[in-house]
Amino acid sequence: MYNKTLLELTSSYSIVSDVMASFGLVIEHDKSEIFHFSRAHNDSNPELDLSAIGASILKPKTYWRYLGFYFDRRLSFKEHVWFYSTKALTTVKAMGMLGNSTCLLPLQKRLLYRACVVPIATYGFRLWYFSGAPTKAQVSLLATMQHKAALWILGAFRTSPTGGIEALAGLIPIHLHLKKLAKCSCLRAATLPSQHALLSLLSARNSKGAHPHPQSLALLTNAQSARLRSPLLDTEASLLNLTERFDSLHSEIHPGCRLLDNFPDHVSFHPYDRSNGRTRKL
C-alpha cells in the first residue's frame, strides 16, 4: 500500500511538471511539498525518485503546517503540541519580565495566564486529545509549561511540587482542563444548526436530518467503527447521554425577544461596593 501511494504521487507530480512546462513555467523542486500520511512502522524511507522526469529526489518535510496545525506522517501531533507549548512558555517568560516591571499581583498574573497563555497552549487540542489516543507525551509538555507558569504566579522556588503550587495558584491540572474543554466541545455539537457541516459526519440520530457525508459515522460498518479513533466518537457518546435538546434558531434568542427584552422590570441588578458598609447585609 505504501509503495502504491508513492507511485501515484510520483505519477501525479510528473503530470503537474509536464503541464507547467507546457506553459513555459518551471517548478522549484526545493520548495515543493509532498506529504504522505502513514501509520506503518516500515516507512522509514519516504523519498520520491523523480529522476525519470528530470527532477531531483524530493524529500517530503517531516512536518506540514496547515491553518496553524502541524501534521506529521503518523498524525501523532507531537510537533503541534511542542510548538504551541513552547510558544505558551515563551509568553509566560515574557510575562515574567512584565511582572517585574509593573509589580503585578498573583491574582492578576493568574488572570493573564488563563486569558492569554492557556488558549495558545490548547490551540487545536481536539486533533490529538480524544478517547483511545496516546496523549501522555503531549500532556507532559503542557504540564511542564503550566508548572513554569505557576512558579511565575507565586514566585516560588523551582523545586516546588507541581500539584501544590497549582493548587495555591488556583490552576486546574492541565489534564483535567483538557478533559473539561473536550467535554464542552462535544456538548456544543448539540447547539449547532442543522446546516452545519459537522453534523453530516455524525450518526443519523445526531445529524438533525443533515445529508450524511461519504465518511460519516452513519455509513461505517461495525468493523470500521471498532477500529476508528476520532473526536467524533467522543461527540457521539456525549450526545447519547444528553437529555436536553437545543434549538440554535429559537425565537427566544433573537434580539427583542429575550428575557430582559420582554420583562425588563422583573430583573434588577445590585452593584457590589465594599466601601459603603453593605457587605454584611448583602
Phi, psi for residue 146 in degrees, rounded to 5: -70, -30
Indicate the Cα dihedral angle 143, 152, 159, 139, nearest 10°.
Answer: 0
Q: Are residues 30 and 134 in the same domain?
A: no
Alpha-carbon gap, residue 217 to 153, rounded angstroms: 45
In a domain, 72, yes or no: no
In a domain, 262, yes or no: no
Q: Which of these, 3, 88, 96, lies nearest to 49 by C-alpha position?
A: 3
Number of structural domains found in the chain: 2
Alpha-carbon gap, residue 223 to 28, rounded angstroms: 44
Q: Are residues 136 and 185 in the same domain?
A: yes
The answer, yes or no, to whether residue 49 has pLDDT greater than 60, is: no
Q: Are residues 33 and 173 in the same domain?
A: no
Q: Which of these, 162, 70, 172, lies nearest to 125 by C-alpha position?
A: 70
Q: Are residues 40 and 129 in the same domain?
A: no
pLDDT of residue 56: 44
Element (H, E) at 4: helix 2-22
Q: Are residues 201 and 86 in the same domain?
A: yes
Dump the DSSP string for 157-220: -TTS-HHHHHHHHT---HHHHHHHHHHHHHHHGGGS-TT-GGGGGS-TTTSTTPPPPTT-GGG-
Q: Are residues 88 and 35 in the same domain?
A: no
Quote the strand ranges of the chain, DSSP E: 63-66, 69-72
Q: Which of these, 179, 172, 175, 173, lies nearest to 234 by C-alpha position?
A: 179
Q: Are residues 85 and 200 in the same domain?
A: yes
Q: Are residues 46 and 109 in the same domain?
A: no
3-state helix, strand, coil in the chain (%, to 5): 55, 5, 40
Q: Are residues 20 and 101 in the same domain?
A: no
- From 35, 61, 87, give the residue that closes a domain: 61
Mean pLDDT estimate for the chain: 80
- From 61, 89, 107, give the residue that closes a domain: 61
In a domain, 17, yes or no: yes
Strand partners, 48: 58
The answer, yes or no, to whether residue 101 has pLDDT greater than 80, is: no
In a domain, 266, yes or no: no
Phi, psi for residue 63 in degrees, rounded to 5: -130, 150
Scored b (16 or more CB within 10 A) or e, 43-66 reads beebebebeeeebeebebeebbee
Q: Are residues 47 and 167 in the same domain?
A: no
Q: Are residues 147 and 10 in the same domain?
A: no
Cell for 281? 447585609
Q: Global pTM?
A: 0.69
The string of pLDDT tens digits covering residues 209-259 is 888 888 888 888 888 888 888 888 888 888 888 877 777 677 777 888 887
In a domain, 181, yes or no: yes
In a domain, 270, yes or no: no
Structural domain boundaries enclosing 29: 2-61
Cell for 274? 465594599
Stretch 98-103: mean pLDDT: 63
In a domain, 67, yes or no: no
